[in-house]
Structure 1
Amino acid sequence: MSELTTTAFVKGHRRTPSYQDFKERTRHDCQKAMNRELEKLVLTAPSSVQENVRKEFEDFKELFDRYLRETGPSIDWDKIKLLPDDAVKMYGELPGPNENDVKSLLDQLVVMKLNGGLGTGMGCQGPKSVITVKNELTFLDMNVQQIEYLNNKYGTDVPLVLMNSFNTDADTQKVVNKYGNVNVSIFTFNQSRFPRINRESLLPMAIGFGDENTEGWYPPGHGDIYKSFYNSGLLEIFIKAGKKYVFVSNIDNMGATVDLNILSFLLNNKVKAPEFVMEVTDKTRADIKGGTLVEYEGKLRLLEIAQVPKEHVDEFKSIRKFKIFNTNNLWASLDGIKRTIEEKTLHMEIIVNPKTLDNGINVIQLETAVGAAIKSFEGAVGINVPRRRFLPVKTTSDLLVIMSNLYSIKTGSLEMNPKRSFPSVPLCKLGSQFTKVKEFLRRFASIPDILELDHLTVSGDVTFGKNVSLKTSNY
């Protein structure tokens, strides 16, 4: 970087440069250096996609500029207010739709699943969505079955949209082909592909688009969904087709099914319908790190633990003060998404995600979270939903619960066994020997009966025989 000149001018007067001048000059130099490297990367992409790459890099440049400009915490803790009574609706108070209205409601809906993650955390290859979950069905199989059931029962055409990443797209496209005779229109688009940033030089780690080593690239978090959806052209296609809302959720959340009560609340609202709904649910001690809703500067805002000053972390984790957390099941107006992008009012806090590559180089990834956009939409509200709508499968401990006799599958959806005497799910913690799916399956001759289980912790070199029943002694 060039050195700061020894003098600066303000309204014609010579003055000594300040530290702020130095920071501004340094920031400017960092931006110029980054822009030069990004242009080199663009030229390594196939000519047919270079224009799209430039669009993606404009979003990256905006994030990078904000990263250089923004200092300190993104929130002032003293400005946080607990939610007013009308900010979160209770699910049980939502009126259900008239059966005759269901088709017209579904005709206005798009279902989108976040499908950018790999199954490496559970020892699997390829997209996480193709891991077998229950009855030989994968996450994707079950989601397709859910939509097909709605389309067949109500004579509608609810599309299923998958937001892939460059890590999952090719494999997902191969899998999608097997649904050719299924009554579901499946669309895909890719979230952006951003270069990881060397923490020391603040320059891209990526060498080029043709480089087989993907360590230099990363998908920038699910907050990228809005602009990538817009840039793909699908947003405009669905708006022209008469669609009004998109229901977004993680593909591994087995509880995130289309809910007609919430859809009716959005489309049959007698006052102005909210542009954005976040499903929240009651926090337990297992959820203390989950993001929560607060009021901040007059708007609803998603507060994540990464934004909380260290001295307030215990307060954030309190289930007495912050009683709900974000399930990442979101409903957004298609017109609202289009408006916020075209008016450039879409804003999400930057998540700085530090990583260390296999070669020991420290990098950062600039990411955003999809729920953080709530403050950019008009009339946003939360809906406190039953816990059954939050059944993520992040680990083999979660997989044990889903694969057990606690649940059965009906039209792609999980239903809790009526023999379970209360609706809560057992808290299961399997040790490191169970982390990988292959090892997990090897250690169970058959999946145990857990109908009367409240909690389970397993550590060490343990295996389970056939026809085992696990019960909590003080059940």
Structure 2
Amino acid sequence: MSLAEQIDALPAPVLKRLHDRGFDEARLVQRAATIGVERDARNRLSGRVEPPAPDDIATAPVAGTADHARCRERGLSALSRGEVALCVLAGGMATRMGGVVKALVEALPGRSFLDLRLGENAALERLVAREGAHVPLWLMTSEATERPIRDALGPRLDGERCATFEQNVSLRLTPEGALFFDEDGGPGVYATGHGDLPDALRRSGLLDRFRARGGKTVWIANLDNLGATVDPAILGWHLAHGGPITVEVVDKVGSDRGGGPVRWNGRRVITEEFRLPRGFDPSTVPVFNTNTFLVDAAALSALVMEWTYVEVEKQIGDRKAIQFERLLGEITAALEPRFLRVPREGLASRFLPVKDEAELERRRPEIEAIAKARGMLG
């Protein structure tokens, strides 16, 4: 039985579940034919790749300077007009924190990651309360995280000021290109990556309604990076310098590795390290991507691009599975970015990633200090 026939033979409720979440059968069948054969060519950038030019990376305005004051004032004005929405990436397969949805893990005693993001949102609204403005909080969830997050939000969910929307799904394959079935006999459904955000957000209708109300900027950040709060000065810098997208980057320290800015065929882009051409020295890129983006809402709404779906091999129990994922940083291949170096140390830090329980234990003192300083604890 061909892959297309296997998919068509799935129960109708399963097919509806897939198609409601952006599943594209024809695209998966096309990719399946290339498993292994073209993996390296598909995953790596082709053409000329060079380190970023010295003037490609700007530095965020420093508190206490005239530039910071100007940028902060401009950012506060935009916030007071209701022109900014915060979009938090809270999807995935809920596998890294002992099987618990990360949003509901206690980042601080008695306060989950979700609680602290809600606290950030409340602090922002206090900042612009005199204008009666709101900063919508949207959470991109997945099948694995949607219900637990919605249950935790309870009456706060109103579909506009606080809303969730689900990212896309696809089907895992065997290394031979057939459907991968889980131990319970069902097809292996998985979330296809943060690169789902533009399509999933448009599908939700949230972006169109936000723009209709005068919304201008979508601030995108990882749930687990509690340093990446909405900062009026950074917002003001983004607005003052124009362009459809600003990407926050931080200096590499020690053995840090990660995706970052490069020049690809002369154009600025963000790319993951594993997508660099063989022979390219990652140490020539002094900063890396924090996955925090300020994006022009109109440009995001109009975005049309052919995404690269990277081929990833996963270990599922004692078996190998193939899945195809897309990365949000690739949005910079269609929208010309500006790179803004932000702090990663002290109370000004904008980079506090938490990938697992051990890292959370190490970072709790920093998270607590920053949460207090930025009003996230109420």
Normalised-by-shorter TM-score class: 0.7 to 0.9
From 115, 120, 123, the equivalent of 1:149 is 123
**Structure 1 residue 87 corresponds to structure 2 residue 44:** no
Maintained 8 Å contact 1:142/1:412: no
Secondary structure of 1:401's partner?
Answer: helix
Give the match for residue 329 of structure 2: 371
What is the correspondence of 1:266-285 to structure 2 with a 5 Å cutoff? 266-269=238-241, 273-285=242-254
Query: CA, structure 1 residues 40+414, in 2 after alignment: closer, same or farther (shift >3 Å)?
Result: same
Corresponding residue pairs, total: 358
Q: Which moved more, 1:103-112 or 1:143-152?
A: 103-112
Give 3-state SS (helix, strand or coil) of 2:299's partner: helix
Residue of structure 2 in register with 1:299 after alignment = 267
Deviation readout 1:365-421 (Å, 9 max, x if unpaired):
1001111211111x3211111111110111333222333388433276689xxxxxx
Q: 1:108 to 1:67 in 2, by over 3 A?
A: farther
Distance across 2 between alignment mates of 1:241 and 1:68:
45
The 1:274–1:406 alpha-carbon spacing in structure 2 relative to 1, beyond 3 Å, is closer
Superposed displacement of residue 147, structure 1 = 0.8
RMSD: 3.0
1:249 aligns with 2:221: yes
The one-letter code matched in structure 2 to 1:196 is R
Query: Whose radius of gyration is greater, 1 or 2?
Result: 1
> What SS does the aligned partner of 2:330 have?
helix
Q: Is the contact made by 2:39 and 2:311 (CA closer than 8 Å) also made in structure 1? A: no
- In the TM superposition, 1:26-175 aligns within 5 A as 33-41=2-10, 43-45=12-14, 52-53=20-21, 56-58=22-24, 61-62=26-27, 65=30, 68=33, 72-73=40-41, 74-75=43-44, 79-92=48-61, 95=68, 96-97=70-71, 99=73, 102-105=76-79, 107-117=82-92, 120-123=95-98, 125-155=99-129, 156-175=133-152
Which runs of 4 or more aligned residues in structure 1 lie more than 6 Å from their structure 2 counterparts after TM superposition? 211-215
SS of corresponding position for 2:354: coil
| Residue in 1 that maps onto 2:293 | 330
Shift of 1:67: 6.3
8 Å contact kept, 1:110–1:247: yes
Matches within 5 A, 1:313-462: 315-316=281-282, 318=283, 321-341=284-304, 346-358=305-317, 360-377=318-335, 379-387=336-344, 388-404=349-365, 407-408=368-369, 409-410=371-372
CA deviation after TM superposition for structure 1 residue 197, in Å: 1.0
1:278 CA displacement: 1.1
For 1:50 and 1:351, the matched residues in 2 are separated by: 20
Per the TM alignment, residue 162 of structure 1 is displaced from its structure 2 partner at its CA by 0.6
What amino acid is aligned across from residue 373 of structure 1 in structure 2? Answer: I
What do the CA deviations read for 1:186-213 (whole angstroms, capped 9, x no partner)? 100111121111111x122258xxx977
Alpha-carbon distance in structure 1 between the residues aligned to 2:255 and 2:110 = 29
Inter-partner Cα distance in structure 2 for 1:100 and 1:291: 30
- 1:232 maps to 2:197: no
User: What residue identity is the alignment partner of 1:392?
Assistant: P
Q: Cα distance 1:355–1:101, how it changes in 2: closer, same or farther (>3 A)?
A: closer
In 2 relative to 1, CA 414–173 (structure 1 residues): closer, same or farther, beyond 3 Å?
Answer: closer
Residue-by-residue CA offset, 1:59-94 (whole Å, 9 max, x unaligned): x64365356465643546771122234422211376
Q: In the alignment, is the contact (CA less than 8 A) between 2:44 and 2:274 conserved in 1?
A: no
Q: Structure 1 pair 374/50, CA: closer, same or farther in 2 (3 Å)? A: closer
Taking a change above 3 Å as real, the CA distance of residues 101 and 364 of structure 1, as seen in their structure-2 partners, is closer
Matched residue SS, 1:397 = helix
CA deviation vs aligned residue, 1:280-328 (integer Å, no higher than 9, x gap): 11011241x211210011322223222235544xx22x2xx21010011
Distance 1:190 1:330 in 2: 19
Q: Secondary structure at the match of 1:38?
A: helix
> Residue by residue, what CA displacement relative to the aligned partner does 1:428-452 show, whole Å, maximum 9, x if unpaired?
xxxxxxxxxxxxxxxxxxxxxxxxx
- The answer as to 2:276 corresponding to 1:308 is yes
TM-score relative to the length of structure 1: 0.68
Cα shift readout 1:252-293 (whole Å, capped 9, x = no counterpart)? 101110011221123344xxx211111111011241x21121
Task: Answer 1 or 2: higher relative contact order, Cα 8 Å, separation at least 6.
Answer: 2
Distance 2:338 2:171 in 1: 35
**Deviation (angstroms), 1:214:** 6.7
If the length of structure 2 is used for normalisation, what is the TM-score?
0.84
Distance between the aligned counterparts of 1:411 and 1:185, measured in 2? 24
SS in 2 for 1:162: strand
Determine what percentage of the aligned residue pairs are the same residue: 25
Gaps (5+ residues) in structure 2?
none
Deviates further, 295-304 or 383-392: 295-304
CA distance in 2, matches of 1:325, 1:34: 39
Seen in structure 2, the aligned counterparts of structure 1 residues 84 and 217 have a Cα distance that, compared at 3 Å, is: same
Q: Is the 8 A contact 2:352 2:367 kept in 1?
A: no
